[in-house]
């Protein structure tokens, strides 16, 4: 019998007054690429519809494709039709289209940056953007330094104390592939930009439910007093995908699940769940508190890696009733690839609040469904009264926070089944959003324009996360064994279930 649910709808139509957005020109390096087409242009269009772009704004694509302004607007219109959460509206599109322009240029050609500068000078005059610049590096990591050097050579980076106008730069994850490369990338960015100008973007942090985690914890007195080892038994974080690698195989072959998901998305979510109350909601106060969590995670010993870190690779199987081929049979994947498509691990946060509470993390491709969820398991009630029967243990109370696809949360409590007999069942009181929430990139782009770094990764947090996962990667690199194979459509390799069973627990079935 399924768990009964009581549903409470959260209507998110009420909003605080809109902030005052400064005028600016947003320059997208790689503005005709896949990321821009799938995410950035649709997000910017929706911001424009909502009135969340400055009245004096311009969007400039800097890329090497053969385009002019008219062709780029056609490219943008196609992106919005295919990928926007809202359809094209003629009036809204016409306003948005006027903001768009295209500059053809190569990232490694200094002269092309001077052409870009001349174009931006005209933008300043025509759109009154006041010299404010946001440079979005939608480019592979190996071009980050090249673009920074080009901007510096054309004198297009204003110092933080250089007057009223601002310069900001946006860098996409992954920041490196290990600690050494991440440190190198950060050093090279820091040679041209101050840390306060750098926005390291992880789109997961822009999801409405992730952003709501701090509010859930620190604005509700019923949760924060319970958010300790005295009341919480363990925490599970799951990021499950039903799709395979698809067209991302070349990237995935050099990354794998640990680099792609754990080092960034999952550890960032973990740091919000585990953080102490920050001094304020100011960006650095929040990021200081998150960093403290990452630095408090117990490093993995060799013995821990054998028992509490599991990897796997999907084989052939059925997902949603449809046949799915093995990872090694995917296009652009080596037939003897040892890349992991699944990771499960147990972490400890060694501080006063979380002493003795295990955090179980898992992520994988070709799992039964697409779902991202945080499950907070509270400790069971004493083994007396309603929990006295040794053959029928009461389920623990639980708080589940759904990040995607159905954003919301559920509180799982024990209740009596109506009737003359005393029969108990678990009931889920479910909260979800009534209206469509903004896409993550909409939230993050808005904050970039406002200069709010709260939802962005700071250099020290990036490097702290790499310090944790580097020993795991090095051990796997040196190991002669292949990752265990799990069937597509399953919840991962048997070893992941056995890891939980050894602790007397089991993974939650989503």
Q: Active site includes 265?
A: yes
pLDDT value at residue 304 = 87
Q: Which of 90-104, 259-273, 308-322, 417-431 has the lowest mean pLDDT?
A: 417-431
Tokens of 202: 């992880």
Q: Are residues 312 and 386 in the same domain?
A: yes
281 found inside a domain:
yes
Report whether pLDDT(290) > 80. Answer: yes
Cα–Cα distances in Å, from 80 out to 77, 83, 436, 447, 510?
Answer: 5, 5, 17, 21, 32
Q: Which domain holds residue 321?
A: 206-502
The most confident of the ranges 14-28, 153-167, 478-492 is 478-492
Say yes or no: 371 and 496 in one domain.
yes
pLDDT tens for each residue of 274-284: 999 999 999 99
Q: Is the pLDDT reported for residue 61 higher than 80?
A: yes
CATH of the domain at 32: 3.40.50.720
Decide if 233 is inside a domain.
yes
Strand 398-404 to 371-378 pairing: antiparallel
- Other beta carbons within 10 angstroms of residue 377's beta carbon come to 21
- Mean pLDDT to the nearest integer, 224-248: 94
Strands (E), 158-292: 167-172, 198-201, 232-240
Q: Is the pLDDT of residue 434 over 90?
A: no
pLDDT interval class at 437 (50, 70, 90): confident
| 112 and 34 inside one domain | yes
User: Cα(271)–Cα(458) distance, rounded to whole angstroms?
Assistant: 13
Do residues 231 and 98 both lie within one domain? no
7 lies in a domain?
no
Question: 224 and 117 share a domain?
Answer: no
Rounded to the nearest 10 degrees, what angle do helices 179-190 and 459-478 cross at? 150
Residue where one domain finishes, among candidates 173, 196, 222: 173
Task: Kindly give the residue spans of alpha helices, DSSP state H, lying in 358-458.
Answer: 440-450
Confidence check: pLDDT of 33 > 80:
yes
Is residue 155 located within the same domain as residue 242? no
What is 44-68 written as a DSSP string? HHHHHHTT-S-SSEEEEEEESSS--
HSE of 206 in the Cβ direction (CA atoms, 13 Å)?
21
Read off the DSSP letter of residue 195: G
Q: What was the pLDDT predicted at 201?
A: 93
What is the β-pairing status of strands 358-364 and 342-348? antiparallel
Q: Does pTM surpass 0.85?
A: yes
pLDDT in the model for residue 435: 58
**182 within some domain:** no
In a domain, residue 393? The reply is: yes
Instruction: Kindly report which listed range (191-200, 309-318, 434-443) carries the lowest average pLDDT score.
Output: 434-443
Identify the pLDDT of residue 3: 53
Instruction: Render pLDDT for 249-266 as a digit per residue (tens, 0 to 9).
Output: 998 999 999 999 999 899
Question: Residue 433: which pLDDT band, with cuts at 50, 70 and 90?
Answer: low
Across 11-130, where does the E strand assignment appear? 24-29, 57-63, 100-104
Tell me if 508 is assigned to some domain.
no
- Please say which residue of 149, 173, 197 terminates a domain: 173
Comparing 18 with 70, the larger pLDDT belongs to 70
Grade residue 436 by pLDDT with cuts at 50, 70 and 90.
low
Closest CA to 105 of 63, 133, 61, 159: 63
- For the cut 50, the answer to whether the pLDDT of residue 24 exceeds it is yes
Choose the catalytic residue: 194, 265, 412, 432: 265
Residues 145 and 221 occupy one common structural domain: no
Mean pLDDT over 28-53 rounds to 95
What's the pLDDT score for residue 15? 46
Confidence of residue 354 (pLDDT cuts 50, 70, 90): very high
Q: At 9, is the pLDDT very low, low, confident or very high (cuts 50, 70, 90)?
A: very low
Q: Domain end: 121, 151, 173, which one?
A: 173
Q: Residue 4's pLDDT is what?
A: 54
232 and 150 within one domain: no
Q: Say whether both 112 and 261 belong to one domain.
A: no
In this structure, are 213 and 110 located in the same domain?
no
Residue 386 to residues 149, 376, 427, Cα–Cα distance (Å): 68, 22, 16
Q: Is 212 inside any structural domain?
A: yes
The answer to whether position 1 is within a domain reads: no
Same structural domain for residues 118 and 223?
no
Q: Is the pLDDT assigned to residue 5 strictly greater than 80?
A: no
Between CA 189 and CA 261 the distance in angstroms is: 23
Name the domain count of the chain. 2
DSSP E strands in 325-458: the ranges are 342-348, 358-364, 371-378, 398-404, 408-416, 424-433
pLDDT greater at residue 388 or residue 71: 71
321 and 412 in one domain? yes
């Amino acid at each position: 019998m399924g768990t009964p649910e009581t549903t409470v709808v959260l209507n998110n139509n009420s909003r605080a007054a809109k902030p005052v957005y400064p005028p600016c020109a947003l320059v997208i390096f790689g503005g005709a690429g896949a990321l821009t087409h799938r995410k950035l242009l649709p997000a910017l269009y929706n911001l424009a519809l909502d009135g969340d772009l400055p009245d004096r704004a311009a969007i400039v694509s800097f890329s090497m494709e053969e385009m002019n302004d008219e062709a780029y607007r056609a490219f943008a219109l196609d992106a919005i039709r295919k990928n926007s959460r809202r359809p094209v509206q003629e009036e809204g599109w016409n306003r948005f289209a006027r903001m768009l322009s295209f500059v053809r240029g190569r990232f490694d050609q200094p002269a092309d940056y001077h052409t870009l500068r001349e174009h931006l000078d005209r933008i300043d005059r025509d759109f009154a953007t006041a010299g404010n610049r946001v440079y979005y590096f939608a480019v592979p990591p190996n071009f980050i330094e090249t673009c920074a050097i080009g901007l510096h050579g054309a004198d297009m980076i204003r110092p933080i104390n250089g007057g009223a106008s601002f310069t900001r730069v946006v860098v996409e994850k992954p920041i490196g592939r290990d600690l050494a490369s991440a440190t190198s990338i950060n050093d090279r960015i820091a040679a041209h930009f101050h840390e306060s100008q750098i926005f390291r973007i992880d789109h997961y942090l822009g999801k409405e439910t992730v952003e709501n985690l701090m509010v859930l914890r620190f604005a509700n007195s019923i949760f924060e007093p319970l958010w300790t080892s005295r009341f919480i038994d363990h925490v599970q974080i799951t990021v499950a995908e039903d799709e395979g690698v698809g067209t991302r195989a070349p990237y995935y072959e050099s990354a794998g699940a640990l680099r792609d998901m754990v080092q960034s998305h999952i550890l960032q979510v973990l740091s919000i769940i585990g953080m102490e109350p920050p001094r304020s909601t100011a960006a650095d106060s929040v990021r200081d508190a998150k960093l403290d969590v990452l630095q408090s995670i117990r490093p993995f010993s060799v013995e821990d890696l054998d028992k509490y870190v599991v990897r796997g690779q999907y084989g052939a199987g059925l997902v949603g009733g449809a046949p799915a081929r093995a990872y090694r049979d995917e296009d652009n994947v080596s037939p003897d690839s040892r890349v992991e498509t699944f990771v499960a691990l147990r972490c400890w946060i060694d501080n006063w609040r979380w002493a003795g509470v295990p955090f179980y993390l898992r992520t994988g491709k070709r799992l039964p469904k697409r779902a991202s969820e945080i499950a907070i398991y509270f400790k069971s009630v004493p083994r007396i009264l309603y929990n006295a029967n040794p053959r029928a243990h009461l389920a623990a109370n639980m708080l589940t926070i759904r990040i995607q696809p159905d954003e919301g949360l559920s509180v799982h409590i024990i209740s009596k089944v109506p009737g003359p007999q005393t029969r108990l069942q678990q009931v889920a009181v479910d909260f979800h959003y009534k209206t469509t929430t903004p896409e993550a990139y909409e939230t993050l782009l808005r904050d970039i324009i406002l200069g709010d770094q709260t939802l962005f990764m700071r250099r020290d947090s990036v490097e702290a996360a790499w310090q944790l996962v580097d020993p795991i990667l090095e051990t796997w690199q040196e190991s002669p064994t292949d990752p265990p194979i799990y069937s597509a459509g399953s919840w991962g390799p048997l070893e992941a279930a056995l890891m939980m069973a050894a602790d007397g627990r089991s993974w939650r079935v989503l």
